[in-house]
A and B are shown apart, each in its own frame.
Chain A
Amino acid sequence: MNPANYILLSALLFSIGAIGVLVRRNAIIVFMSVELMLNAANLAFVAFARMNGNLDGQVVAFFVMVVAAAEVVVGLAIIVTIFRTRRSASIDEPNLLKY
């Protein structure tokens, strides 16, 4: 089992997430893509921890999970609030904060 494969998988997942963020308009889908990117990063951390034979990467992965959980709470709350006022979950429509 080559560790490089995990890194490649991680990069693949991250790219899918990034493209998802960029191309999708639905806020929920964008949010899911962000989660995908976070977990791709987690995978990379864990893979590197394994490769280097210490636990630092594993610890960071836990931190990321905690942060991601907190972020989901806040982010979903914002999305629900926007949906209530605008009846839409598109992220292109709330573009009032501009030049």
Chain B
Amino acid sequence: MTEVLPAEGIYSLLWVLIALPAAGALILLLGGRRTNTWGPYLGVLTIAGSAVIGVLMLLAMMDQSAEQRTIVQNVYDWVFVGTFQASFALQLDQLSIVFVLLITIVGALIHVYSLGYMAHDPDRRKFFAYLNLFVAAMLLLVLANNYLLLYVGWEGVGLASYLLIGFWQRKPSAAAAAKKAFVINRVGDVGLSVAIMLIFVTFGSITFQDVFGQASEASEGTLTAIGLLLLLAAAGKSAQFPLQAWLLDAMEGPTPVSALIHAATMVTAGVYLIVRSNAIYNAATWAATAVVIVGLITIFMGAIIGSAKDDIKKSLAGSTMSQIGYMVFAAGLGPIGYVFAIFHLLTHGVFKAGLFLGAGSVMHGMNDGVNMRRYGALKGLMVITFITFMAGYLAIIGIPPFSGFWSKDEIIHAAFERNSIIGIATILAAGITGFYMTRMIAMTFFGKARWEEDAHPHESPAVMTIPLVVLALGSTFMGMALLFWGNIEYWLEPVVGYESVPTPLPTWVYIAVTLVVVIIGAIIGWVMYARKEVPVEPPHGNVLTRAARQDLYGDAINDVLVVEPTYTSARALTTFDTKGVDGFVNWTATFVGDLAKRLRRTQSGFARSYALSMVGGAIVLLVALILVRLS
């Protein structure tokens, strides 16, 4: 067990990490139009401040021994009711710090990029306020030291995601997409809230320290239930099967949002949750297997959808689903995979942010068009965008020495350590990745120009290209840096555990096979989309293509399984309410009313008739008494 240190020195600024962007959001939202001119710059500054603090903390942490890297800062006592105790307490350890750095540094780059991308948007102050709100919530999520506080951050990022997907709410499709994301996330959030209740009932505490300390004492059934509920939560937030349908529509938001929230950070919260709860999954084999299956299904779903979409952002969204599938899959493998799930999460966060921002830069030059069939031959006109995009491309398909190669290769290797069949499946999916990413760059940067008539492609301003260059450098060198210089697996080991199992074949065989499959996929993509003419109108396509264009019928399935039954039962309940419940109540009222209408005719106003009824009643009583006496 690692010891927990109080927050001293630089760590006493832990709460400032969250407070800075939160204050930025507050000032921009409450300040109103007065902050229009300088608001966006304030938004960038708060994130940059958090990033600087994060880096200082990392440097301080590297000076300490591995057992002394868990720091807890109790900001204040939050909910203290009987035995239920939840502090507003922040915990910084080796896992949190890498997330803090990913969120703040990539976040800062995307804020800078947004200065250029949103320069002409009338609501950009609000945009920066929401981005700041998102960063604050996400930092709270990864810094919480108990599940309830994590839940606050979890809901906070959900809110920010909703606000930003629907940022252009005058577009009905954006408003609908925001609602859809929110509702589907709710399904996952139910899982998380029930899991927290179950954790409290089982362990009597919700702090990570207490729960993981006693995880092995609970029954396996309970742990499996908790694990499956946490998986449901993770599936909702990370767009994993079966709650994947919202992510593709979430691309309605501005492109920096897609890059920051729906590729680099928020959607990885599910992976964080699973890896953070590693003690639970280690003891619940069935739940961990479910995680692997969900991850594997999503890897393929995302890859297939990414292969068929003509919308550059939706294709990247499919790719995001697939890559997060890899992370969830690795997290389900147990101690052989946790560190590589986080490793891939970090490299993916950087190169996918670069790819999305590159796509945004292309859209910026193409009148915000997203249809790749109307791109083509852009490599000479957008040189910086092209080169940085290529760095991201080589990283995501896993060509050495780009960062994705190292992380994805480790996941594939870990899969083979468990089971050869799932290992082969991951290699196959890597091949599909090679195909759809090659298709994307071939349609966008190569081939013939198929532009709309009024398109005048041009390179984006420096404020947008500089973040692209930084992210491209990250995509190139980060994998090697983390693996060889940072020793990511031993850095994370004290928190998440790490072990390595021998594989049947030597490691280089897997690397070689993966590379060959990826290159075959890339060549197929190149032959189909760069050598051949790309039609402007999408061809009919085969069954799989048509299914993938419809998000593999995700919406249709949801409609049949959830939406329609809900509507039907709602209609049935309404009918039962109006006809049954209301019907009975109204019938009773009408009956009493009608009866009263008849009975009141007896109030004739004639005193003598009243007297007669009194006498009559008296006689009846008398006769009854006499009869009773006689019998």
B619 CB to nearest A CB, Å: 10
Are B612 and A22 closer than 8 Å at their CB atoms? yes
Question: A81 to nearest B CB, angstroms?
Answer: 15
Do B605 and A91 touch across chains, with their CB atoms under 8 A apart?
A: no
Count the B residues whose beta carbon is within 8 Å of the partner chain — how many? 11
Known: A18-B615, A22-B615. Contact between A96 and B608, CB under 8 A?
Answer: no
In the bound complex, residues from chain B placing their C-beta under 8 Å from that of A95 are 604-607
Which of these, A25, A91, A97, A99, contacts B600 with CB under 8 Å?
A99
Interface SS, A side: loop
CB nearest to B608 among chain A residues? A22
Interface string of B463-494 (1 = CB under 8 A from A): 00000000000000000000000000000000
Do A98 and B605 touch (CB < 8 A)?
Answer: yes
| Given A18-B615, A22-B615, A91:B604 Cβ within 8 A | no
Residues of chain A contacted by B604 (CB below 8 angstroms): 95, 98-99
The contact size tier of chain A is 10 to 19
Report if A47 contacts B (CB, 8 A). no
B603 within 8 A of A: yes
Interface residue? B170 (CB, 8 A): no
Q: Mark B609-630, 1 if CB is under 8 A from A, else 0.
A: 0011001000000000000000
Decide: B606 and A99 in contact? CB cutoff 8 A.
no
Known contacts A98-B603, A99-B601: A92-B615 contact under CB 8 Å: no
Nearest-neighbour CB distance to chain A for B386, whole angstroms, equals: 94
User: Chain A's nearest CB lies how many Å from the CB of B230?
Assistant: 70
B366 nearest CB across to chain A (Å)? 83
- Say whether A21 contacts B603, CB under 8 Å: no
A84 CA / B605 CA spacing, docked (Å): 20
Given the complex of chains A and B, what is the CA–CA distance between A67 and B49 in angstroms? Answer: 99
CA distance A97 to B601 in the complex (A): 12
Given known A18-B615, A21-B611, A22-B612, contact A92–B606 (CB-CB < 8 A): yes
| Per-residue contact bits, chain B 578-620, to A (CB 8 Å; 1 contact, 0 not) | 0000000000000000000000110111111001100100000
Q: How many A-B residue pairs have CB under 8 A?
A: 28
With contacts A18-B615, A22-B615 taken as known, whether A92 is within 8 angstroms of B608 at the C-beta atoms is yes
CA distance A22 to B609 in the complex (A): 8
The answer to whether A22 touches B605, judged by C-beta atoms less than 8 angstroms apart, is no
Q: Which residues of B contact A96 (CB under 8 A)?
A: 605
Across the two chains, which residue of chain B brings its CB closest to A24? Answer: B608
A96 to B603, CA, bound (A): 10
Are the CB atoms of B615 and A91 closer together than 8 Å? no
Question: Given the complex, which residues of B lie within 8 Å of A21, measured CB to CB?
Answer: 608, 611
A47-58 vs B, Cβ < 8 Å mask (1 yes, 0 no): 000000000000
Name A27's closest neighbour in chain B (CB-CB): B607
A91 near B608 (CB under 8 angstroms)?
yes
A97 touches B605 (CB 8 A): yes
The chain B residue with its CB closest to the CB of A95 is B605
Q: Once bound together, how far apart are the Cα atoms of A96 and B604, in whole Å?
A: 9
Within 8 A of B (CB), among A63-99: 91-92, 95-99
Instruction: Name the distance in Å between B529's Cβ and chain A's nearest Cβ.
Output: 90
Query: Which residues of chain B are within 8 angstroms of A92 by Cβ–Cβ distance?
Result: 606-608
A22 close to B611 (CB less than 8 A): yes
> CA separation between A38 and B522, bound complex, in Å?
118
Chain B nearest CB, measured from A9 CB (Å): 18
Q: Which of A13-46 contact B (CB under 8 A)?
A: 18, 21-22, 25, 30
Q: Within 8 Å CB of A22, what residues of B? A: 608, 611-612, 615
Q: Which residues of A approach B to under 8 Å, CB–CB?
A: 18, 21-22, 25, 30, 91-92, 95-99
26 A-B contacts (beta carbon < 8 Å):
A18-B615, A21-B608, A21-B611, A22-B611, A22-B612, A22-B615, A25-B608, A30-B608, A91-B607, A91-B608, A92-B606, A92-B607, A92-B608, A95-B604, A95-B605, A95-B607, A96-B605, A97-B605, A98-B603, A98-B604, A98-B605, A99-B600, A99-B601, A99-B603, A99-B604, A99-B605
Beyond A22-B611, A30-B608, 17 additional pairs, beta carbon < 8 A: A18-B615, A21-B608, A22-B608, A22-B612, A25-B608, A91-B607, A91-B608, A92-B606, A92-B607, A92-B608, A95-B604, A95-B605, A95-B606, A97-B605, A98-B603, A98-B605, A99-B603
| Chain B residues at the A interface, C-beta cutoff of 8 Å | 600-601, 603-608, 611-612, 615
Q: Which 9 residue pairs of A and B lie closest in terms of their CB atoms, listed nearest first?
A: A98-B605, A95-B605, A99-B600, A99-B603, A98-B603, A91-B607, A95-B606, A21-B611, A22-B612
